[in-house]
Amino acid sequence: MLIRLFLCFMILIFSVDLQANWNQTSFPTSTGPIYGLAVNSTTIFAGTFQNMYRSMDNGTSWVAINSGLPNLNGNGVFVQAISTMGSDVFTGTGNGFFLSTNNGSSWSAINSGLVSTNIFAFAVMGTKLFMGSLSSGGVGPVFLTRSCFIIIHWSTYQFV
């Protein structure tokens, strides 16, 4: 059964039959807007200003998975982007890039080479991961890692 996820008015809902039939999940409604969604096999990840969440039962139940994610000014983890590749999960926050190799149970910061740690977007192309950020000047560089499986250093790409 193919399941597609969409975000509508800060409520996580899903369609089972790809028609106009939507069912609201049990996502915690007090967490604020959802800034990112990603699916890794049968696991759904959702990021909000306060927490990163994971559901392993099609959205029936959700658990906060913040171990290793920094709290931004005492307000929460501020997840701005999420992506997956294979068994790895990536998240971008106001405090940098984080990788989980255990389905979100713990997170590790990988920020070597980043001139901006305010991460807003990801794109995966083959084994390459591109990441968009916002610098203090309002212009965001795009970063590329040569291989998503061993991230040692980010290369910066500037638009001219």
- How sure is the predictor about 72, in pLDDT bands with cuts at 50, 70 and 90? confident
Q: What CA–CA distance (Å, rounded) separates 51 from 65?
A: 7
Instruction: State how many domains the chain has.
Output: 1
Secondary structure string (H, E, C) spanning 11-80:
EEEEECCCCCCCEECCCCHHHCCEEEEEEECCEEEEEECCCEEEECCCCCCCEECCCCCCCCCCCCCCEE
Check if the beta carbon of residue 135 is closer than 8 Å to that of residue 118. Answer: yes
CATH number at residue 32: 2.130.10.10
* pLDDT at residue 126, as a whole number: 78
pLDDT in tens, 3-62: 333 333 334 555 455 566 777 888 887 777 888 999 988 899 999 988 999 999 989 999
pLDDT in tens, 128-154: 788 888 776 655 667 666 554 444 445
Per the structure, the complete domain to which residue 41 belongs is given by 4-157
DSSP structure class, residue 10 = T
Check if the beta carbon of residue 119 is closer than 8 Å to that of residue 132. Answer: yes
Q: Between the CA atoms of 14, 20, 21 and 27, what dihedral angle is there, to the nearest 10 degrees?
A: 30
